[in-house]
Amino acid sequence: MTETIDIVLTGPLPNQTADGLDKAFTVFRPFTGAEQKAKLEKVADKIRGVAAGESHERLDDAFFDRYPHLEILASCGVGYDHIDANAAAKRGIVVTNTPDVLTDEVADTALGLLLATVRQLPQADAYLRAGQWLRKPFPFTDTLRGKTMGIVGLGRIGNAIAKRAEAFGLGLAYHSRSPKPGAPYPYYPSLVAMAEAVDILMVITPGGAATKHLINAKVLEALGPKGVLINIARGSVVDEKALIAALKAGKIASAGLDVFEHEPNVPKELIDIPHVVLLPHVGSASVHTRNAMGNLVVENLKRWFSGKGPITPVVETPWPKPTKG
Ligand code: 8YV
């Protein structure tokens, strides 16, 4: 009999990919209820892998302590700010994420959200459904014509957004910790200076402590009363209270948000503002792309346990391990 490999799945994965996991491993699903939790507790010291599905449960030392023989944590998503990858590295646990396979989907959603926000498409849809068109035409909106977009974070998705924005005729600039060699857009080392210079701020930088509340009252003030904020990154990057205050005071014109500080809880104050567009974190959430992400989680685990190494390790846990000296 061949030895089975026990792994934990922390949250749902698309069905098709979850099946792939079950074919290859013995999978424990503590999120499904008390029975699975109890079973898992009994085998905790046999667990060798974790597949982190649709859950942003914090995975840190307290979590790793439960599984003394954990070798790999394969997460479904490009952002892994809910995982303490440095703590994993110290324990020799490899962390993988799912870059590339979602880049185009998230970039598409970003442009959709931008258009929806500036041209008020959801509001126009609601207007028609409410029979208001019969009374009078929908009011004219703002436009993307002649506008410049400042991208906060010019990584893989930031670049894919920039390409699309070029096709839309937008002017471009970017801010990141350091300039990106070869990037064809003006670089702003100061976020406030960029916010002052552009009409739209597109936030697509990783979450976590380093970027917490990067978009604060000062940045919003610099963006100005005609400015538009789009956040498709992480809720933590934007100071939500400052944003609500800026929107209410007309310090910026509008916002399109796919992510929130305490999702799925969205402040009522935001929901009550009619000229913002709010999405329930759907940036990568198409059947096609979520399957591709889930498959990459399964492939990372399969490759690891067949001794070939992970496909997409995160920077904190490089593979092969760098040799000392
Ligand atoms: C996640 C995301 O996959 O990839 C990311 O970083 O934000 C999403 O697409 C989603 O939150 C499911 O965990």
> If you measure from the C-alpha of residue 204 to the centroid of ligand 1, how many angstroms do you get, rounded to a whole number?
13
The token duo for 312 is 């997409």
Is residue 207 within 8 Å of 198, Cβ to Cβ? no
Q: 152 and 214 in contact (C-beta within 8 Å)?
A: yes
- Catalogue all structural domains in the chain, each as residue range(s) with its CATH number: 6-101+287-305 (3.40.50.720), 103-278 (3.40.50.720)
- Cβ of 78 less than 6 Å from ligand 1: yes
The pLDDT of residue 15: 84
Residue 106 alpha carbon, nearest atom of ligand 1: 9
Residue listed under structure tokens 């698309």: 14
Q: What does the pLDDT profile of the chain (325 residues) look like in tens digits?
A: 467 999 999 999 988 888 999 999 999 999 999 999 999 999 999 999 999 988 878 999 999 999 999 999 999 999 999 999 999 999 999 999 999 999 999 999 999 999 999 999 999 999 999 999 999 999 999 999 999 999 999 999 999 999 999 999 999 999 999 999 999 999 999 999 999 999 999 999 999 999 999 999 999 999 999 999 999 999 999 999 999 999 999 999 999 999 999 999 999 999 999 999 999 999 999 999 999 999 999 999 999 999 999 999 999 999 998 887 6
Angle, CA 218 vertex, CA 168 and CA 275 arms, to 5° = 50
Taking alpha carbons only, the member of 284, 288, 287, 244 closest to residue 268 is 244
Cα–Cα nearest to 284, from 14, 3, 44, 72: 14
- Angle between helix 15-24 and helix 287-305 axes, rounded to 10 deg: 10
pLDDT confidence of residue 230: 99
- pLDDT score recorded for residue 54: 83
Residue identifier of the C-alpha nearest atom 1 of ligand 1:
77
Assess contact for 225 and 250: CB atoms under 8 A. yes
**Which atom of ligand 1 has the smallest separation from the CA of 80?**
6
pLDDT attached to residue 323: 81
In the structure encoding, which two tokens stand for residue 255, read together?
Answer: 């916002």
Cα separation, 195 vs 175, in Å, equals 9
Is residue 118 a contact partner of residue 228, using CB atoms and an 8 Å limit? Answer: yes
pLDDT of residue 2: 60
State the distance from the centre of ligand 1 to the C-alpha of 176, rounded, in angstroms. Answer: 21
Measured in Å, residue 41 CA sits from the centre of ligand 1 at 27
- Taking the centre of ligand 1 as the mean of its atom positions, its distance from the CA of residue 108, in whole angstroms, is 15
Q: Is the CB of 76 under 6 A from ligand 1?
A: yes
Three-state secondary structure call for residue 47: strand
Q: Is the CB of 284 inside a 6 Å radius of any atom of ligand 1?
A: yes
* 256 touches 117 (CB < 8 A): yes
Q: Is the dihedral of CA 241, 59, 77, 150 positive or negative?
A: positive
The predicted pLDDT at position 1 comes to 45
C-alpha to C-alpha distance for 71 and 49, rounded to whole angstroms: 6
Give the strand pairing for 47-52 and 94-96: unpaired
C-alpha distances (whole Å) from 82 to each of 50, 58, 77, 270 are 14, 5, 11, 24
**Cα–Cα distance, 263 to 276 (Å, whole number):** 17
Q: What pLDDT is attached to residue 259?
A: 98
Residue nearest to atom 4 of ligand 1 (CA): 77
